[in-house]
Amino acid sequence: GQLASQLFHGQACDIPSLPQLQCADKRPRVNFKCAICIWNLLLSTLKLRTKELSLSVKQAIIRLKKQNKPIREIARTLGVAKTTVWNILKKKECTGELSNTKRPGRPRKTTVVEDRRILSLVKKTPFTTVGQIKNNLQEVGVCVSKSTIKRRLHQSEYRGFTTRCKPLVSLKNRKARLEFAKQHLTKPSQFWNKILWTDETTINLYQSDGKRRVWRRKLTAHNPKHTTSSVKHGGGSVMSWACMAANGTGSLVFIDDVTADKSSRMNSEVFRTILSAHIQPNAAELIGRRFTVQMDNDPKHTAKATKEFLKGQKWNVMQWPSQSPDRNPIEHAFYLMKTKLKGKCPKNKQELKTVAVEAWQSITRDETQRLVMSMRSRLQAVIDCKGFATKY
């Protein structure tokens, strides 16, 4: 240590093999690189131990001691200090254990009361930020860093996540959703098998692939090979109506094929035309003579002319609460269809219609059966959420 101190302070040393430099004041100085080499050599020579002895070494010390080996010989055999051997033997004699006791570490910056205060702020306002929590604590005289606040939240199993976007459900609709769920929760599977589920959906010409990851080097983010293309409004789209039951999918009807002006605008008249042409054939094929039609509360579904039409057809129509897309299994069937379309590359709307029909018909009976049989879980989720939007 004295030699290293002399080297780093520029003092002369008695090692003739080192190249020395003459300064203006005629004092010899050792080359700085040589000083670094000598310092590293000293550290390796001292054999400084920064890690604790393993359990196997401690057991070897106890085993050699039982063989009546002296401490000096044990230390020389295992390459440890004599004081280390003595301390391990003393600990074994007093406590009977060889494992290291847990060190207290650095004292916590927050008390139990302050930890509860952090949790209460998050529970009361889940959208609060770490900076806001820090400022709130400073107002009561607690100065901690943002990292400390994050650690306290992580210890209580709180993590920061991106919020899920769900439709806003009014109080009136929450009560209606909750009442519907309680009335139909105990319905048997035969009840759900007799329902013909209907809804409309928009199919874009270019399906969104969501967020994708790419392997690239720095400063190549805008290389065409490393980017994904996007077009406005999905590059064009078609509006469609579809139906399904537990036994499989039904018709997929495109609105522009029904309207007189070939537009995708759907009104009550177009909706009634589709119902009169497709409800009875699909119900007869998928369910049988006795069936129930499900539809949401879209304005064209609840129009006066539509209600009179349904009354004239004498169909059994399920009373469906508003703002309840999470309870309609056909929504997930649409998701399956659009997932299958991601691998397709239609060039125009006509090709899009062709591949969409193929994707819709490729949904198997097992998939539709599983979706319909999930109704009990969906209704239970509505009850658990007290009428709010669910994970579905």
Same domain, 116 and 59: no
Lowest-confidence segment of 34-38, 188-192, 227-231 by average pLDDT: 34-38
Average pLDDT over residues 217-234: 74
Lowest-confidence segment of 4-13, 47-56, 240-249, 278-287 by average pLDDT: 4-13
Give Cβ neighbours of residue 147 (< 8 Å, ≥ 6 apart).
none
Lowest-confidence segment of 51-55, 63-67, 226-230 by average pLDDT: 226-230
Same domain, 150 and 179: no
45 has a pLDDT exceeding 70: no
Same domain, 194 and 343: yes
Task: Evaluate whether residue 218 is within a structural domain.
Answer: no
pLDDT digits (tens, 9 = 90+) for 336-354: 999 888 878 788 888 899 9
Same domain, 343 and 257: yes
Residue 23 pLDDT: 43
> In this structure, what token pair is assigned to residue 29?
């100085």
User: CA distances (Å), 357 to each of 30, 137, 242, 343, in order?
Assistant: 85, 59, 10, 14
Same domain, 248 and 123: no
> In this structure, what token pair is assigned to residue 56?
């196997």
Same domain, 276 and 149: no
Same domain, 123 and 189: no
Average pLDDT over residues 268-273: 91
Q: Quote the Cα angle for 169-171-175, to 5°.
A: 100
15 has a pLDDT exceeding 50: no
Task: Write down the pTM of the prediction.
Answer: 0.64
Same domain, 182 and 204: yes
Residue 151 pLDDT: 92
42 has a pLDDT exceeding 70: no
Distance CA 288, CA 282 (A): 9
Same domain, 128 and 148: yes
Average pLDDT over residues 26-34: 52
Q: Would you say 119 and 156 are in contact if contact means Cβ atoms under 8 Å apart?
A: yes
Q: How confident is the model at residue 13 (pLDDT cuts 50, 70, 90)?
A: very low
Average pLDDT over residues 190-200: 93
Same domain, 29 and 176: no
CATH code of the domain covering residue 201? 3.30.420.10
135 has a pLDDT exceeding 80: yes
Residue 100 pLDDT: 74
Residue 19 pLDDT: 43
Task: Evaluate whether residue 107 is within a structural domain.
Answer: no
Q: How confident is the model at residue 359 (pLDDT cuts 50, 70, 90)?
A: very high
Q: Could you please report the per-residue DSSP string of 226-260?
A: G-----GGGGSEEEEEEEEETTEEEEEEEGGGTST
Same domain, 132 and 65: no
Q: How confident is the model at residue 18 (pLDDT cuts 50, 70, 90)?
A: very low
* Alpha helices, H only, the chain: 2-8, 32-46, 55-66, 71-78, 82-95, 112-124, 130-139, 146-155, 171-184, 189-193, 268-286, 304-313, 329-341, 349-361, 365-372, 375-384
Lowest-confidence segment of 133-137, 228-232, 381-385 by average pLDDT: 228-232
Provide the b/e sequence for 343-357 (b: ≥16 CB within 10 Å). Answer: eeebeebeebbebbb
Residue 365 pLDDT: 94
388 has a pLDDT exceeding 80: yes
Same domain, 128 and 206: no
Q: Would you say 191 and 294 are in contact if contact means Cβ atoms under 8 Å apart?
A: no
Total domains present in the chain: 4
Q: Report the relative pairing of strands 316-317 and 292-294 from DSSP bridges.
A: parallel
pLDDT digits (tens, 9 = 90+) for 275-315: 999 999 999 999 998 999 999 988 999 999 999 999 898 89
Quote the domain boundaries for residue 120.
112-155
Which amino acid is present at 201?
A: T
Q: What sign for the dihedral angle of Cα 56, 62, 64, 66?
A: negative
